[in-house]
A and B are shown apart, each in its own frame.
Chain A
Amino acid sequence: MTEDYSPFLPLSPAALHILLSLAAEDRHGYAIMQEVARQSEGQYKLGPGTLYDNLQKLMNQGLVEASPQPPAHDDPRRRYFRLTSFGRGVLSADVARLDAVVREARAHLSTPRRAT
Protein backbone atom coordinates (compact mmCIF):
# COMPACT_ATOMS: atom_id res chain seq x y z
CA MET A 1 0.00 0.00 0.00
CA THR A 2 1.62 3.26 -1.14
CA GLU A 3 0.46 6.80 -0.66
CA ASP A 4 -0.36 8.95 -3.67
CA TYR A 5 1.71 12.13 -3.56
CA SER A 6 0.85 13.36 -7.05
CA PRO A 7 -1.81 15.92 -5.97
CA PHE A 8 0.92 17.76 -4.03
CA LEU A 9 3.49 17.80 -6.85
CA PRO A 10 5.28 19.79 -8.06
CA LEU A 11 6.03 21.76 -4.91
CA SER A 12 6.45 25.53 -5.21
CA PRO A 13 10.01 26.81 -4.63
CA ALA A 14 9.03 28.23 -1.24
CA ALA A 15 7.36 25.00 -0.10
CA LEU A 16 10.29 22.90 -1.32
CA HIS A 17 12.81 25.03 0.59
CA ILE A 18 10.70 25.03 3.76
CA LEU A 19 10.28 21.24 3.71
CA LEU A 20 14.00 20.81 3.00
CA SER A 21 14.91 23.03 5.93
CA LEU A 22 12.67 20.94 8.22
CA ALA A 23 14.01 17.60 6.95
CA ALA A 24 17.01 17.63 9.28
CA GLU A 25 15.48 19.02 12.48
CA ASP A 26 12.54 20.90 13.98
CA ARG A 27 12.91 24.66 13.58
CA HIS A 28 11.07 27.90 14.36
CA GLY A 29 10.14 30.44 11.69
CA TYR A 30 13.23 32.60 11.85
CA ALA A 31 15.53 29.54 11.83
CA ILE A 32 13.70 28.26 8.72
CA MET A 33 14.36 31.60 6.98
CA GLN A 34 18.05 31.43 7.86
CA GLU A 35 18.34 27.80 6.78
CA VAL A 36 16.68 28.54 3.43
CA ALA A 37 19.13 31.40 2.83
CA ARG A 38 22.02 29.08 3.73
CA GLN A 39 20.80 26.24 1.49
CA SER A 40 20.46 28.52 -1.51
CA GLU A 41 23.69 30.36 -0.72
CA GLY A 42 21.76 33.59 -0.29
CA GLN A 43 20.07 33.41 -3.69
CA TYR A 44 16.59 32.70 -2.32
CA LYS A 45 15.42 34.73 0.65
CA LEU A 46 12.05 34.07 2.24
CA GLY A 47 10.21 36.94 3.89
CA PRO A 48 8.07 36.29 6.98
CA GLY A 49 4.85 36.79 5.00
CA THR A 50 5.77 34.18 2.39
CA LEU A 51 7.09 31.86 5.10
CA TYR A 52 4.03 31.81 7.35
CA ASP A 53 1.60 31.86 4.43
CA ASN A 54 3.28 28.69 3.10
CA LEU A 55 3.58 27.13 6.55
CA GLN A 56 -0.14 27.59 7.08
CA LYS A 57 -0.86 25.92 3.72
CA LEU A 58 1.56 23.04 4.43
CA MET A 59 0.01 22.49 7.86
CA ASN A 60 -3.49 22.41 6.35
CA GLN A 61 -2.25 19.81 3.85
CA GLY A 62 -0.75 17.70 6.63
CA LEU A 63 2.85 18.00 5.41
CA VAL A 64 4.05 20.01 8.42
CA GLU A 65 2.86 20.08 12.01
CA ALA A 66 3.57 22.18 15.05
CA SER A 67 6.27 20.64 17.21
CA PRO A 68 4.70 19.87 20.61
CA GLN A 69 7.42 21.34 22.80
CA PRO A 70 10.23 23.79 22.04
CA PRO A 71 13.73 22.69 22.98
CA ALA A 72 14.91 23.67 26.45
CA HIS A 73 16.56 27.05 27.00
CA ASP A 74 14.66 28.62 24.13
CA ASP A 75 12.13 31.43 23.97
CA PRO A 76 8.76 29.78 24.79
CA ARG A 77 6.97 32.27 22.52
CA ARG A 78 8.61 30.75 19.47
CA ARG A 79 6.63 28.05 17.71
CA TYR A 80 8.53 25.10 16.33
CA PHE A 81 7.53 23.17 13.23
CA ARG A 82 8.41 19.68 12.07
CA LEU A 83 7.96 17.53 9.01
CA THR A 84 5.33 14.78 9.19
CA SER A 85 6.05 11.36 7.72
CA PHE A 86 3.62 12.18 4.93
CA GLY A 87 5.48 15.48 4.32
CA ARG A 88 8.76 13.57 4.15
CA GLY A 89 7.23 11.29 1.52
CA VAL A 90 6.03 14.25 -0.55
CA LEU A 91 9.47 15.88 -0.29
CA SER A 92 11.19 12.65 -1.39
CA ALA A 93 8.80 12.32 -4.34
CA ASP A 94 9.48 15.91 -5.44
CA VAL A 95 13.26 15.47 -5.08
CA ALA A 96 13.02 12.31 -7.23
CA ARG A 97 11.03 14.29 -9.82
CA LEU A 98 13.63 17.07 -9.82
CA ASP A 99 16.39 14.50 -10.09
CA ALA A 100 14.79 13.07 -13.24
CA VAL A 101 14.49 16.60 -14.66
CA VAL A 102 18.17 17.30 -13.97
CA ARG A 103 19.25 13.99 -15.55
CA GLU A 104 17.16 14.74 -18.62
CA ALA A 105 18.55 18.26 -18.85
CA ARG A 106 22.14 17.03 -18.54
CA ALA A 107 21.58 14.43 -21.25
CA HIS A 108 20.17 17.06 -23.63
CA LEU A 109 22.76 19.71 -22.86
CA SER A 110 25.74 17.38 -23.14
CA THR A 111 24.89 16.17 -26.68
CA PRO A 112 25.78 18.66 -29.45
CA ARG A 113 22.82 20.30 -31.15
CA ARG A 114 22.15 19.08 -34.67
CA ALA A 115 21.69 21.70 -37.38
CA THR A 116 18.34 21.50 -39.22
Chain B
Amino acid sequence: MRTCYRCLLWLHPPVFRREYAGEMLWIFDQSSQSQGTLGLFFDGLGSLARQWLLRSAWWRVVLTLALATLQIVFGGFAMLLFGHRHLVEPAQDLSLNNLAEFAQDGAIAHQPLTIGILMYLTVFITGGLVIMVIGLTFWTKSFAARRQPAVRKVR
Protein backbone atom coordinates (compact mmCIF):
# COMPACT_ATOMS: atom_id res chain seq x y z
CA MET B 1 0.00 0.00 0.00
CA ARG B 2 2.92 2.34 0.65
CA THR B 3 4.02 1.96 -2.98
CA CYS B 4 0.50 2.77 -4.16
CA TYR B 5 0.47 5.86 -1.95
CA ARG B 6 3.83 6.96 -3.36
CA CYS B 7 2.43 6.58 -6.89
CA LEU B 8 -0.59 8.64 -5.84
CA LEU B 9 1.69 11.39 -4.54
CA TRP B 10 3.68 11.29 -7.76
CA LEU B 11 0.46 11.99 -9.71
CA HIS B 12 -0.08 15.31 -7.87
CA PRO B 13 0.86 18.60 -9.61
CA PRO B 14 4.65 19.17 -9.51
CA VAL B 15 4.50 22.27 -7.29
CA PHE B 16 2.44 20.51 -4.64
CA ARG B 17 4.54 17.33 -4.92
CA ARG B 18 7.82 19.19 -4.39
CA GLU B 19 6.47 21.06 -1.36
CA TYR B 20 4.55 18.41 0.51
CA ALA B 21 4.98 14.87 -0.87
CA GLY B 22 7.90 14.01 1.45
CA GLU B 23 6.03 15.04 4.58
CA MET B 24 2.83 13.35 3.40
CA LEU B 25 4.69 10.07 2.96
CA TRP B 26 6.28 10.48 6.39
CA ILE B 27 2.84 11.07 7.95
CA PHE B 28 1.51 8.05 6.05
CA ASP B 29 4.19 5.92 7.71
CA GLN B 30 3.42 7.41 11.11
CA SER B 31 -0.36 7.22 11.06
CA SER B 32 -1.12 4.20 8.88
CA GLN B 33 -1.59 2.09 12.03
CA SER B 34 -4.03 4.48 13.72
CA GLN B 35 -5.99 5.76 10.70
CA GLY B 36 -5.80 2.73 8.41
CA THR B 37 -3.99 2.66 5.09
CA LEU B 38 -7.18 2.51 3.02
CA GLY B 39 -8.53 5.69 4.63
CA LEU B 40 -5.26 7.50 4.00
CA PHE B 41 -5.24 6.28 0.40
CA PHE B 42 -8.74 7.62 -0.25
CA ASP B 43 -7.77 10.87 1.45
CA GLY B 44 -4.86 11.10 -1.01
CA LEU B 45 -7.25 10.41 -3.90
CA GLY B 46 -9.45 13.29 -2.76
CA SER B 47 -6.43 15.55 -2.53
CA LEU B 48 -5.35 14.50 -6.04
CA ALA B 49 -8.77 15.38 -7.48
CA ARG B 50 -8.91 18.73 -5.67
CA GLN B 51 -5.39 19.65 -6.73
CA TRP B 52 -6.00 19.03 -10.42
CA LEU B 53 -9.60 20.24 -10.64
CA LEU B 54 -9.74 23.16 -8.18
CA ARG B 55 -6.23 24.39 -7.42
CA SER B 56 -4.65 23.86 -10.83
CA ALA B 57 -6.06 25.21 -14.09
CA TRP B 58 -4.32 22.64 -16.29
CA TRP B 59 -7.64 20.91 -16.95
CA ARG B 60 -8.65 24.02 -18.90
CA VAL B 61 -5.66 23.61 -21.21
CA VAL B 62 -6.45 19.93 -21.71
CA LEU B 63 -10.14 20.69 -22.37
CA THR B 64 -9.23 23.45 -24.81
CA LEU B 65 -6.81 21.28 -26.75
CA ALA B 66 -9.33 18.42 -26.80
CA LEU B 67 -12.11 20.68 -28.10
CA ALA B 68 -9.84 22.23 -30.71
CA THR B 69 -8.67 18.79 -31.86
CA LEU B 70 -12.26 17.55 -32.04
CA GLN B 71 -13.24 20.61 -34.03
CA ILE B 72 -10.40 20.11 -36.52
CA VAL B 73 -10.44 16.30 -36.80
CA PHE B 74 -14.17 15.60 -36.75
CA GLY B 75 -14.93 18.71 -38.75
CA GLY B 76 -12.46 17.54 -41.34
CA PHE B 77 -13.81 13.99 -41.33
CA ALA B 78 -17.37 15.24 -41.59
CA MET B 79 -16.38 17.31 -44.56
CA LEU B 80 -14.71 14.32 -46.22
CA LEU B 81 -17.66 12.02 -45.49
CA PHE B 82 -20.62 14.28 -46.13
CA GLY B 83 -19.38 17.45 -47.73
CA HIS B 84 -17.28 15.88 -50.46
CA ARG B 85 -20.25 14.85 -52.58
CA HIS B 86 -21.38 18.48 -52.78
CA LEU B 87 -18.11 19.51 -54.30
CA VAL B 88 -17.88 19.42 -58.06
CA GLU B 89 -15.17 18.90 -60.51
CA PRO B 90 -13.95 22.04 -62.19
CA ALA B 91 -16.57 23.17 -64.62
CA GLN B 92 -15.70 22.32 -68.16
CA ASP B 93 -18.25 24.57 -69.70
CA LEU B 94 -19.66 27.81 -68.48
CA SER B 95 -23.13 27.15 -69.76
CA LEU B 96 -26.08 29.11 -68.47
CA ASN B 97 -27.49 26.08 -66.52
CA ASN B 98 -24.22 25.55 -64.67
CA LEU B 99 -24.01 29.16 -63.59
CA ALA B 100 -27.65 29.18 -62.45
CA GLU B 101 -27.09 26.08 -60.32
CA PHE B 102 -23.98 27.68 -58.83
CA ALA B 103 -25.88 30.81 -57.85
CA GLN B 104 -28.79 28.82 -56.38
CA ASP B 105 -26.99 26.25 -54.22
CA GLY B 106 -24.33 28.36 -52.60
CA ALA B 107 -20.78 29.31 -53.21
CA ILE B 108 -18.67 26.83 -51.21
CA ALA B 109 -20.47 23.65 -52.26
CA HIS B 110 -19.98 24.34 -55.92
CA GLN B 111 -16.43 25.52 -55.85
CA PRO B 112 -14.00 23.38 -57.79
CA LEU B 113 -12.83 20.34 -55.76
CA THR B 114 -9.42 21.57 -54.51
CA ILE B 115 -10.51 25.07 -53.63
CA GLY B 116 -13.59 23.72 -51.85
CA ILE B 117 -11.53 21.36 -49.69
CA LEU B 118 -9.14 24.17 -48.84
CA MET B 119 -11.99 26.46 -47.87
CA TYR B 120 -13.56 23.82 -45.62
CA LEU B 121 -10.21 23.02 -43.97
CA THR B 122 -9.51 26.71 -43.42
CA VAL B 123 -12.89 27.16 -41.73
CA PHE B 124 -12.39 24.16 -39.42
CA ILE B 125 -8.77 24.89 -38.54
CA THR B 126 -9.53 28.56 -37.88
CA GLY B 127 -12.40 27.50 -35.61
CA GLY B 128 -10.07 25.14 -33.73
CA LEU B 129 -7.45 27.85 -33.34
CA VAL B 130 -10.03 30.32 -32.06
CA ILE B 131 -11.14 27.79 -29.41
CA MET B 132 -7.50 27.24 -28.44
CA VAL B 133 -6.76 30.96 -28.12
CA ILE B 134 -9.88 31.63 -26.02
CA GLY B 135 -9.13 28.69 -23.69
CA LEU B 136 -5.46 29.58 -23.29
CA THR B 137 -6.33 33.23 -22.59
CA PHE B 138 -8.64 32.21 -19.73
CA TRP B 139 -5.99 29.83 -18.39
CA THR B 140 -3.26 32.49 -18.51
CA LYS B 141 -5.46 34.99 -16.65
CA SER B 142 -6.26 32.53 -13.84
CA PHE B 143 -2.61 31.44 -13.67
CA ALA B 144 -1.43 35.05 -13.30
CA ALA B 145 -4.10 35.76 -10.67
CA ARG B 146 -2.90 32.82 -8.56
CA ARG B 147 0.70 33.96 -8.76
CA GLN B 148 -0.14 37.38 -7.25
CA PRO B 149 -0.07 37.63 -3.43
CA ALA B 150 -3.39 37.50 -1.61
CA VAL B 151 -5.14 40.83 -1.84
CA ARG B 152 -6.76 42.05 1.34
CA LYS B 153 -9.54 44.54 1.15
CA VAL B 154 -9.16 47.40 3.59
CA ARG B 155 -12.12 49.57 4.49
Most central of B28, B46, B152, B153 by chain A CB within 10 Å:
B152
Contact (Cβ within 8 A) B153 A48: no
Contact (Cβ within 8 A) A49 B55: no
Contact (Cβ within 8 A) B152 A47: no
- The residues of A that contact B51 with a CB separation of less than 8 Å are 53
Smallest Cβ-Cβ distance to B151: which chain A residue: A62
- The residues of B that contact A77 with a CB separation of less than 8 Å are 22-23, 26
Nearest CB on B from A17, distance (A): 15
Given A48-B40, A52-B24, A77-B22, residue A7 in contact with residue B153 (CB < 8 A): yes
Looking at chain A's contact residues, the main secondary structure is: helix
Report the count of interface residues on B (CB-CB < 8 A): 30
Report the count of interface residues on A (CB-CB < 8 A): 27
Contact (Cβ within 8 A) B153 A29: no
Which 9 residue pairs are nearest across A and B when measured between Cβ atoms?
A: A47-B43, A49-B47, A62-B150, A52-B20, A4-B153, A48-B24, A48-B27, A49-B43, A49-B44
Instruction: Determine if A33 is an interface residue (Cβ-Cβ < 8 Å).
Output: yes
Bound CA–CA A10/B39 (angstroms): 27
Instruction: Determine if B97 is an interface residue (Cβ-Cβ < 8 Å).
Output: no
- The residues of A that contact B48 with a CB separation of less than 8 Å are 49
Given A4-B155, A50-B43, residue A29 in contact with residue B23 (CB < 8 A): yes
- The residues of A that contact B55 with a CB separation of less than 8 Å are 53, 56-57
Bound CA–CA A49/B50 (angstroms): 10
Bound CA–CA A51/B30 (angstroms): 15
Smallest Cβ-Cβ distance to B45: which chain A residue: A49
Bound CA–CA A33/B24 (angstroms): 11
Contact (Cβ within 8 A) B27 A30: yes
Instruction: Determine if A97 is an interface residue (Cβ-Cβ < 8 Å).
Output: no
- The residues of B that contact A1 with a CB separation of less than 8 Å are 154-155
Smallest Cβ-Cβ distance to A28: which chain B residue: B23
Contact (Cβ within 8 A) B39 A78: no
Most central of B24, B30, B48 by chain A CB within 10 Å:
B24
Smallest Cβ-Cβ distance to B12: which chain A residue: A49
- The residues of A that contact B101 with a CB separation of less than 8 Å are none
Bound CA–CA A79/B20 (angstroms): 9
Contact (Cβ within 8 A) A60 B23: no
Scan A25-63; emit 1 where CB is below 8 A from any B CB, else 0: 000111001000000000001011111110111001110
